Structure 1
Amino acid sequence: MNKTKNAAFAYSFLLPSALLTLVLGIYPIAWAFRYMFYNYKGYGTARFIGLDNFSRILRDAEFWDSVVNTFVYAGGKLLLSIPLSLLLAAILNRKIRGRQLLRAVFFMPTVISTAVMAVVFFTIFNSYNGILNQFLIKFNISSSGIDWLGPKHAMLTVILVAVWGAVGNYMLLFLAGLQNIPEDVYESSSLDGANKIQQFRFITLPMLGPVLQMVIMLAIINALKGYESIMVLTEGGPAGKTEVMFLYLYKLFFPVGGSSASTQVQEFGYGSAVAFVSAVIVGMISLIYFYASRRMNRID
């Protein structure tokens, strides 16, 4: 009897989480799986069309352009954020003055809302009266400012904003890994004549390997799925230059100003198919990296 009461007591705590998972997790996925095969715009009757949505994806140049933009965006973010995070972690792991304050400052962007962060950067990078262009003009660095959100620089701008928001989180993970490396290892290598660069190459990086693999995996997934700051900064423009997969998907479900993805009409059926294909792409990239990292571990 006591076991039954204890079990009922335990399940009563699990029930709210289970209900939330069912309503907010499993049901929407099942709903999307169903409407992948329907022509449904959010109103009227859903019409079964089989695989027509997927054949439409194959012909949808805008979607595939967004896939290319996603890889450019993710690649730029990874190439900048991972080394910068590791460098900051290595610096802030040393006994320097004010390191606790610096850690808090670099971590602060992580706790700021992405939308709020993007609005702040929009005021900085605004091409007409942005803070950065005013600074460049005032000090005669540029005569008329730079079109930061224009076709030529928009992708670089959104990548820099994404890096600013991601560095603090990855820095903290690297910092935790660095603090788990015993000091005795560095002291022994110093006695053997190893310099700082050699210690970093042959001690720090190998012993930081598991953390590095985890950080890269998180960074890949977050970069491939990210779109919020881009939506605020450019809405995918100009002319689709910064439109990434999940922003394109968002526009299919929730059309926004200037959207060409859905011609200002909700596309729930087609959007569900795009969501499935996008999830498959992200999953395939993650599996490729996971397989490659396991192969590297075997080689080591």
Structure 2
Amino acid sequence: MRIICEGPYDLRLSWRMLSAFSGRSASRDGSLAMWWEGRPTAIFLRQTSMDPPVVEIIADPLPGKARRFQQHLRMVLNADLALEPFYRRLRRDRTLRPIVNSLIGLKPLRPPDIFQMLVIAISEQQISMTAANRVRERLLSSFGTPAGKLTAFPRPEDIAPRGVDELRACGLSQRKAEYLSELANKVVTGEIDFDSWEDMSDDELLGMLRSHRGIGEWTAEYMLVRGLGRTDVVPASDLGVRRVVGHYLAGGSDPAAQEVRELLAPWAPWRGLTAFYLLAHYRMIQMGLDQAQ
């Protein structure tokens, strides 16, 4: 199976950004564990051509509903995101031009399912990336399912029966364990329907997400830009976003959330994608990926 992507596309560069923050559900060699048709599935990805960008896919076990499976992976890979209009806009700016030129083909890859993104967002609330990664590693070890050498992320039905104390044992706070338990149960009972989210506007999604306990402004915005590929949404209160926007666009200052929104306003409808590129450049070029926090 193969996917022809909208170019430019550099899977290796994009994968480095994903695998740094995905724990054992993704590896650095282009392999990924996910659930498909009720089975933990190991996915192996390799880019075989840059022009046009072609990604070859091997799945173990072989997936059912192959066309839908391929479409799902197009979503994970952000294969249909057109970068050239975004690049043309940012190259007009003297500061952003070299950042874009150093990251050609970088696309923000999406987690393979929305519940995993919910867990990612809740685990990262008000703690460091390192601490959040430890929590997710423990969740994987406790409730994940082996898929080859990787581990498929726990599903809502894997989390819903667990008590709050079991979730706290993975490093979650009392409140976060309660939030995660409640959200998992809402997914299992159908109160939360992920399939309906794709057709909702950004504002509708943000309002709906904030109606659930444990999801505030930052979590909702983070869900949209990283989990749903909404490239104009910015988690403006995020400390990392504030740091890089201040570093590149505000003379090294520490802007508040509203100032971040104002500084990124000229780059609509790619404000979230612009912030992603600033983060990627700061982490991958200046700090080095292995030291990114």
TM-score scaled to structure 1, two decimals? 0.25
Structure richer in helix, relative to its length: 1
- Structure number with the bigger relative contact order (C-alpha 8 A, sep ≥ 6) is 1
Task: Give the structure with higher Rg (CA).
Answer: 1
